């Protein structure tokens, strides 16, 4: 496994932990950190026995979002090119959405800008009491990215999403829970224990079933009802023919712990 400078990767049996590792910069998403994410994320689908991944931050923050010095450097390059635009590409959210196993965002502190929108691509979002959230793009003259123009309104509703984006207001963990942005608020010392508990619950289920559940849910965000049903039919056909399905049913009937083969 590659050693990273701006990420920490840990493996705990059937799940792993990604930690943003720029605590001195509140885990701002520098280009170097993003490149390391782009290297690590595609590897997750091919790790033997990996069933879930927790994403969190080192230190006091989850992620303060975009790196401000990086923004200034980017503008300087724009000037040096004579004002020509280089196409911005949302590579990180595409990579996150390409991870086939569940992602659990354990939000241990501020998650603003890109830190907030990165968490939206995760399947679970839980937070500590110290967490703060903000869609603060307008504060730095930017528009929503990382797929947040699509995901945020579907998670919290259009009215809340509009308020968050157009006021750039910071909300606390209690407000975020009320918005439906996160599912749980815990004390800081219990956050990772709860994230591990969720990961272990996922790991106890059929790997094939979990991957297909995630695919169906993501597909359902962006299709008609008829298209959703058709996709479900294909997913169920695959699941019905899997060894994991047979093992799940057999173990339930026989009142034993299933032994999955991920086939």
Q: How far is CA 72 from CA 68, 176, 202, in A?
A: 6, 31, 42
| pLDDT at residue number 12 | 95
CATH of the domain at 131: 3.90.226.10
| pLDDT at residue number 67 | 59
261 falls within a domain:
no
* Residue 130 · residue 109 · CB < 8 Å: yes
The two tokens of residue 215 are 């695919």
Q: Which domain holds residue 249?
A: 207-254
1 falls within a domain:
no
| pLDDT at residue number 89 | 67
The two tokens of residue 14 are 């059937």
Q: Which residue(s) pair with 69 in the sheet?
A: none
Q: Which residue has the tokens 């308020």?
A: 163
85 falls within a domain:
yes
* Residue 116 sits in the same domain as residue 212: no
Closest CA to 149 of 139, 135, 169: 135
| pLDDT at residue number 109 | 97
The two tokens of residue 6 are 């701006």
Q: How far is CA 103 from CA 45, 146, 160, 206, 247, in A?
A: 12, 16, 24, 16, 25
DSSP 84: P
* Residue 105 · residue 83 · CB < 8 Å: no
Closest CA to 67 of 42, 35, 38: 35
* Residue 50 sits in the same domain as residue 147: yes
30 falls within a domain:
yes
Rounded to 5°, angle at Cα 27 from 41 and 175: 95
| pLDDT at residue number 80 | 61
The Cα–Cα gap between 234 and 216 comes to: 10
* Residue 72 · residue 33 · CB < 8 Å: no
pLDDT < 50 regions, the chain: none
Start-to-end Cα distance in the chain? 25
Query: Total structural domains in the chain?
Result: 2
| pLDDT at residue number 45 | 96
* Residue 173 sits in the same domain as residue 244: no
């Amino acid at each position: 496994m590659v050693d990273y400078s701006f990420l920490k990767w840990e493996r705990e049996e059937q799940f792993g932990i990604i930690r943003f590792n720029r605590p001195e910069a509140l885990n701002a998403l520098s280009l170097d950190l993003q490149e390391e994410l782009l290297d690590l994320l595609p590897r997750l689908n091919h790790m033997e026995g990996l069933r879930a991944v927790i994403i969190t931050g080192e230190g006091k923050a989850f992620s303060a979002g975009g790196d401000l010095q990086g923004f200034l450097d980017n503008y300087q390059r724009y000037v040096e090119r004579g004002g020509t635009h280089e196409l911005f590409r949302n590579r990180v959210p595409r990579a996150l959405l390409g991870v086939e196993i569940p992602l659990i965002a354990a939000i241990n502190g501020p998650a603003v800008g890109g830190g907030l929108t990165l968490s939206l691509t995760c399947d679970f979002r839980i937070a500590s009491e110290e967490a703060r959230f903000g869609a603060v793009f307008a504060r730095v003259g930017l528009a929503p990215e990382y797929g947040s123009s699509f995901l945020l309104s579907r998670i919290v509703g259009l009215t809340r999403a509009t308020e968050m984006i157009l006021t750039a207001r910071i909300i606390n963990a209690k407000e975020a829970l009320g918005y439906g942005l996160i599912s749980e608020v815990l004390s800081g010392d219990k956050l990772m224990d709860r994230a591990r508990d969720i990961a272990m619950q996922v790991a106890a289920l059929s790997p094939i079933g979990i991957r297909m559940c995630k695919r169906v849910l993501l597909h359902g965000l962006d299709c008609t009802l008829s298209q959703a049903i058709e996709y479900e039919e294909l997913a169920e056909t695959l699941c019905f023919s899997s060894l994991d399905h047979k093992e799940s049913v057999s173990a339930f009937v026989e009142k034993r712990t299933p032994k999955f083969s991920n086939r």
